[in-house]
């Protein structure tokens, strides 16, 4: 998915910028192409510009610069209700004075649909989210999760090609959230709906999406499939933001045959894959995942550089061991080791040597 060049993009942002006050850009240069049927998540810290992007796509905000296209047509001058977009927001805002069925019927009435067809579609949408027998109730008579399902049904009832969801599960408990995550992606895929989903929960983003756009500071830092984001972060922001990660700082000594030799600040040498570095002398932040680190010598490839480490904490977690180490002067170096019969358990105070495959270690921006 990540490698596809999206030629006939359904949703397209081209060089989009947004400023609310005419001075600061909260969206700096957004370029994004989504094929029809894709489930894309915008993930990023608070204030990074996710909702603003969604609002521009929905038509509630206009871009300060650039172009937004839907099905190849620029939508900058099309008002929100003519864009045919279904929306679910965190404060679902069902109309409190209407029944559930009336809530769902409303977007169809707006579209001038006849009564019997309306009733049919409303029932089908409610059945889809397993709320078929709740049509006569009012929103206040439903639980939070049920209201959320109704909001989802209302966004889908007029069969939009595009659905936007902004933190739709934020208010729900963990169990219901996980159930709804599955229901949403299942529905979207079954109905072939193109979805833009916003969250700051990385697990949610990784489990639900075809692709994830990681936002920071008004820019997409990386746009890729979940596994690629985790395995091949393109910069240190993404490496830190997605999953657990260890970092060490150093200076590039040499780059040869696609491998960088990095001298850490305490003088030790490690091998890594050069991602954002190209010259000796450059500063770098080296990134490595906890589960890619070995301390069992038999499992290390010959010739790779190893590092000295002191065990600070060893936690037995059943399927894995989680160990905190002091490495190169840092106390927060985490390794995760699969619990296997030949895997040694460690003791606090113990001195060990750790290593990894150079390709699992990425030399990123400093
Ligand atoms: N209506 C507005 N007027 C002025 N500034 C705004 C407005 N809406 C958002 N901003 C600012 O724009 C920036 C991006 O906000 P946005 O709501 O897009 O972030 P977000 O990524 O959705 O954050 P969160 O995860 O907290 O919802 C923030 O600095 C915010 O303060
Ligand atoms: Mg937001």
The CATH number assigned to the domain holding 110 equals 3.40.50.300
Q: Do 47 and 184 share a domain, yes or no? A: yes
* CATH number, position 324: 2.40.50.100
The minimum-distance atom of ligand 1 relative to the CA of 215 is 21
Structure token pair of residue 90 = 């965190």
Q: pLDDT band for position 4 (50/70/90)?
A: very low
* 298 occurs within a structural domain: yes
Residues 281 and 221 reside in one and the same domain? no
Residues 28 and 163 both lie in one domain: yes
The predicted-structure confidence for 226-256, as pLDDT tens digits, reads as follows 999 999 999 999 999 999 999 999 999 999 9
What is the reported pTM? 0.87
Query: Is there a single domain that holds both residue 219 and residue 262?
Result: no
The answer to the question of residue 4 being in a domain is no
List the 320-327 sheet strands across, edge first. 330-338, 320-327, 307-316, 351-354
Contact 167, 92 (CB under 8 A): no
Ligand 1, residues 48, 63, 170, 200: which to mutate, most atoms within 8 A of Cβ? Answer: 48
Q: Which ligand is nearest to the CA of 64?
A: 1
Which ligand has the minimum distance to the alpha carbon of residue 215?
1
Give the tens place of pLDDT for each residue, 248-303: 999 999 999 899 999 999 899 999 999 999 999 999 999 999 999 998 777 777 77
Distance 69 CA to ligand 1 centre (A): 22
User: Which of 236, 259, 294 lies at the terminal end of a domain, its last residue?
Assistant: 236
Token pair for 336: 């995760």
> Which residue CA neighbors atom 6 of ligand 1 most closely?
20
The average confidence (pLDDT) of the chain is 91
Give the distance (Å) from ligand 1 centre to CA of residue 16. Answer: 16
Is 195 among the domain residues?
A: yes
- Domain limit, last residue, from 236, 266, 292: 236
**Would you say residue 2 lies in a domain?**
no
pLDDT beyond 70 at 2: no
Closest C-alpha to ligand 1, atom 24: 46
- 3 found inside a domain: no
- Considering its fold, how many domains does the chain have in total? 2
**In this structure, are 76 and 217 located in the same domain?**
yes
Kindly state whether residues 288 and 210 are assigned to the same domain: no
The answer to the question of residue 159 being in a domain is yes
| Same domain (yes/no): 23, 161 | yes
DSSP state of 359: G
Dihedral of CA 43/213/54/26: which sign? positive
Lowest mean pLDDT among 19-28, 36-45, 68-77, 221-230: 68-77
Q: Domain check: are 195 and 217 in the same one?
A: yes
Give the pLDDT of residue 296.
78
Q: Which contacts qualify for 56-61: CB closer than 8 Å, 24 or more apart? A: 56/16, 56/18, 56/27, 57/11, 57/13, 57/85, 57/164, 57/196, 58/83, 58/85, 58/87, 58/164, 59/83, 59/85, 61/18
Q: Is 70 exceeded by the pLDDT of residue 79?
A: yes
Examine the fold and report which residue of 210, 236, 262 is the final residue of a domain before the chain moves on. Answer: 236
Residue 39 sits in the same domain as residue 106: yes
> Does any domain span residue 1?
no
Residues with CB under 6 A from ligand 1: 20, 26, 44, 46-52, 200
Mutational test site, ligand 1, from 20, 89, 200, 241, max ligand atoms within 8 Å of CB: 20
CA distances from 80 to 56, 77, 86, 112 (A): 9, 9, 10, 17
Output the CA 273–ligand 1 centroid distance in Å. 36
Residues 260 and 228 occupy one common structural domain: no
Structure tokens at 118: 């309306």
Residue 1's pLDDT band, with cuts at 50, 70 and 90, is very low
The domain containing residue 220 runs over which residues? 9-236
Is residue 353 in a domain? yes
| Residue count of the chain | 366
Do 30 and 123 fall within a single domain? yes
Query: Looking up tokens 């047509």, which residue turns up?
Result: 73
Q: Whose CA is nearest to atom 27 of ligand 1?
A: 46
- Sign for the pseudo-dihedral over CA of 90, 94, 96, 100: negative
Are 252 and 353 found together in one domain? yes
Q: Going by CA atoms, what residue is nearest to atom 30 of ligand 1? A: 47
């Amino acid at each position: 998915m990540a490698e596809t060049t999206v030629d006939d993009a359904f949703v397209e942002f081209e060089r989009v910028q947004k400023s609310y006050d005419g001075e600061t850009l909260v969206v700096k240069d957004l370029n994004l192409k989504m094929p029809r049927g894709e489930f894309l998540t915008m993930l990023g810290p608070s204030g990074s510009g996710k909702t603003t992007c969604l609002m521009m796509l929905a038509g509630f905000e206009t871009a300060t610069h650039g172009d937004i296209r839907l099905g190849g047509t620029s939508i900058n001058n099309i008002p929100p209700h003519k864009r045919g977009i279904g929306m679910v927001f965190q404060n679902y805002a069902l109309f409190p004075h209407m029944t559930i069925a009336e809530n769902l019927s409303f977007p169809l009435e707006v579209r001038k649909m006849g009564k019997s067809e309306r009733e049919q579609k409303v029932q089908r949408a409610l059945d889809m989210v397993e709320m078929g027998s709740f049509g006569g109730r009012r929103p206040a008579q439903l639980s939070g999760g049920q209201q959320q399902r109704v909001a989802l049904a209302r966004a889908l009832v007029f069969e939009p090609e595009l659905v936007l969801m902004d933190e739709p599960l934020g208010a729900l408990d963990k169990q219901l959230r996980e159930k709804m995550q599955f229901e949403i992606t299942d529905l979207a895929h079954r109905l072939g709906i193109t979805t833009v989903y916003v969250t700051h929960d990385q697990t949610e983003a990784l489990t639900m999406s075809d692709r994830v756009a990681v936002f920071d500071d008004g820019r997409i830092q990386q746009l890729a499939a979940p596994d690629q984001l985790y395995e091949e972060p393109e910069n240190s922001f993404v490496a830190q933001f997605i999953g657990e990660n260890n970092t060490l700082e150093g200076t590039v000594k040499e780059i040869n045959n696609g491998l960088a030799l990095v001298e850490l600040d305490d003088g030790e040498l490690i091998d890594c894959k050069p991602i954002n570095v190209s010259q000796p002398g450059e500063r770098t932040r080296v990134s490595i995942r906890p589960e890619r680190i070995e301390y069992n010598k038999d499992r290390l490839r010959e010739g790779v550089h190893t590092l000295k480490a002191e065990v600070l904490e060893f936690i037995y977690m059943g399927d894995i061991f989680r160990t905190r180490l002091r490495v190169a002067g840092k106390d927060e170096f985490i390794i995760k080791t699969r619990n296997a019969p030949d895997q040694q358990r460690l003791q606090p105070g113990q001195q060990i040597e750790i290593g990894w495959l150079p390709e699992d270690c990425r030399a990123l921006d400093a």
